[in-house]
Amino acid sequence: MARIPRPSDRVNLAHVTVLLIDDNAQALDILSSIVQGFGVKEQIRCSSAIEAAEVLKRRPVDLILVDCAMPEMDGYDFTRWVRRESPEAARQTPVIMLTGHAAASRVHKSRDCGASFIVAKPLTPTVLLQRIVWLSSDEREFIQSETYVGPDRRVRNMGPPLNVAGRRKGDLSTHVGAAVEANMDQSDIDSLFKPRRVAL
């Protein structure tokens, strides 16, 4: 069972603006309810990444939650756009990507397009809140290079806690179809976001 955040871990989300993006109306409703339960008063709901990009061109937000699999512009392309082409005020906005298929290749793809974290569906409020709490104290520098734009993945701190129970490996979202690779457990996903030492 995932650890419930302690009172000392809590952050005040009452004045945070969250951009929610999912092409599945039911999934968007569930996500909206979860975020509302965290005390977020201002949510901007979008049923496509293209719609969300238009929102970011007009105003900044504090947090983005985006589904990976969407038509036209998927969550990966949207996150790359946020990191490289969106207005300057939006480029370092924390992005949590949501996926129904947590195969290692998809988790790597999310990490490499500049996501702050990836969370496996079906969502649990506890896991999502933990990632938001971690983001509130994230001290990673933002890296901009020809091949990568996003939070620094090299060693700077301990990264997300390991050995936190996540979703069941066999769980699938109702709208993403059959998995082509085995799903990763949430703790395995988190370990890919843990900064590691690199040889220079």
Per-residue model confidence as pLDDT tens digits over 158-182 = 444 444 444 444 444 444 455 567 7
Question: Which stretches in the chain have pLDDT values below 50?
Answer: 1-8, 155-176
Helix (H, G, I), strand (E, B) or coil at 164: coil
Q: Is the CB of residue 91 less than 8 Å from the CB of residue 64?
A: no
- Left (φ > 0), alpha (ψ -120 to 50) or beta: where does 119 sit? beta
pLDDT, position 135: 86
Instruction: Walk across the sheet containing 42-46 and list its strands.
Output: 42-46, 17-21, 63-67, 95-99, 117-120
Three-state secondary structure of 87-143: CHHHCCCCEEEEECCCCHHHHHHHHHCCCCEEEECCCCHHHHHHHHHHHHCCCCCEE
pLDDT, position 191: 76
Q: Say if residue 5 is preceded by a cis peptide, omega within 30 of 0.
A: no
pLDDT, position 177: 52
Per-residue model confidence as pLDDT tens digits over 112-136 = 999 999 999 888 899 999 999 888 8
In degrees and rounded to multiples of 5, residue 98 shows phi and psi of: -115, 130
Q: Give the number of other Cβ atoms within 10 Å of residue 108's Cβ.
A: 12
pLDDT, position 108: 85
Q: Is the CB of residue 153 less than 8 Å from the CB of residue 193?
A: yes
CA-to-CA separations, 179 to 98, 123, 163, in angstroms, rounded: 15, 17, 24
- The Cα angle at residue 76 between residues 145 and 32, in degrees rounded to 5: 125
